[in-house]
Structure 1
Amino acid sequence: MTRYIAIMSKDQDSDYGVHFPDFPGCVTAGSTVEEAKRMAVEALAGHIALMREDGETIPEPSSYDEVMKDPDNHGTFAFEVSPEDYDPSVRVNVTLPRSVLEAIGKRRNRSAFLAEAAREKLAQQKHPA
């Protein structure tokens, strides 16, 4: 799996910004570190898809040491991102009892809750007790 170095930084009055040294112009941001990391995967996958559509060459990943030689990257947080990790969401229409839907809504984002519950159930079925 190909992994590229992403650089995250944050100014005092801004979101967490992410850019990719191997892909000038590929930038994203998030209000939390976790959101910025999720957005980085989506941004990189989309950027590479557009490059392929345009017939551009996809660069080989730079090493951490190469990326950190750039003084602009000092004092930042570097992490690896694989475009293969992108798993786009798909809108679905489901029918649930109102009480179940209301209970889910009180806990957290409905979509996130249902996705997590489905993953847990699928994992249980792979490894029955």
Structure 2
Amino acid sequence: MKYPVVLHKDDASDYGVSVPDVLGCFSAGRTVSQALDNVQEALALHFEGLVADGEPLPQAREVDAHLDNPDFAGGVWAVVEFDVTPYLGKAVRFNATLPENLLQRIDEKVKRDHRYASRSGFLASAALRELAVGQ
């Protein structure tokens, strides 16, 4: 899932990163790259806590949904990809039937795009995107 993040930097500090759709999730880093890398760990820890507490997982919204929020004024926006599938519960095997050409295209995409560890990961990510559209 792609989460918008906003970076801030004061003169005498590291880059701070906020994840507007994940309340209370913050990170920092000495450089922009380091700050964006560190937000992955912050998201993982935050999601682990949400799962442990039985709380719902936050859905990512577009950057545009946050632009009028004064808390983020003057920040630099970025988008980070975060795999939420490990936090959705135990994996369950099921049978699915797809057209051969579609399955081949999915497999080719998985080979090219390292965001997806497997065909199942691709399908889970596509399903989450589709489910978020209706919310």
TM-score by length of 1: 0.60
1:82 to partner: Cα distance: 2.3
Partner of 1:21: 20
- Two-structure CA RMSD over aligned residues (Å): 1.5
SS of the residue aligned with 1:75? coil
Gaps of 5+ in 2: 85-135
Task: Name which of structure 1's ranges 52-61 and 10-19 shifts more when overlaid on structure 2.
Answer: 52-61
Partner of 1:67: 66
Gaps of 5+ in 1: 86-129
The ranges of structure 1 where at least 4 consecutive aligned residues each deviate by more than 4 angstroms after the TM superposition are none
Distance in 1, matches of 2:37 and 2:21, equals 18
Q: Larger Cα Rg: Structure 1 or Structure 2? A: 1
1:20 to partner: Cα distance: 0.8
SS of the residue aligned with 1:80? strand
Distance in 1, matches of 2:34 and 2:18, equals 14
Partner of 1:56: 55
Partner deviation per Cα, 1:3-37 (whole Å, 9 max, x = no partner): 11111100010000001111221111001111101
1:52 to partner: Cα distance: 1.1
Partner deviation per Cα, 1:53-75 (whole Å, 9 max, x = no partner): 21100121121111112122122
Partner deviation per Cα, 1:60-93 (whole Å, 9 max, x = no partner): 11211111121221221111122229xxxxxxxx
Distance in 2, matches of 1:82 and 1:46, equals 15
Equivalent residue pairs, number: 84
CA contact (8 A) 1:4 1:81 kept: yes
Residue type of the alignment partner of 2:48:
A
SS of the residue aligned with 1:84? coil
Counting only pairs closer than 5 Å after superposition, residues 1-129 of structure 1 correspond to structure 2 as: 2-84=1-83
TM-score by length of 2: 0.58
Distance in 2, matches of 1:33 and 1:16, equals 7
Residue type of the alignment partner of 1:81:
V
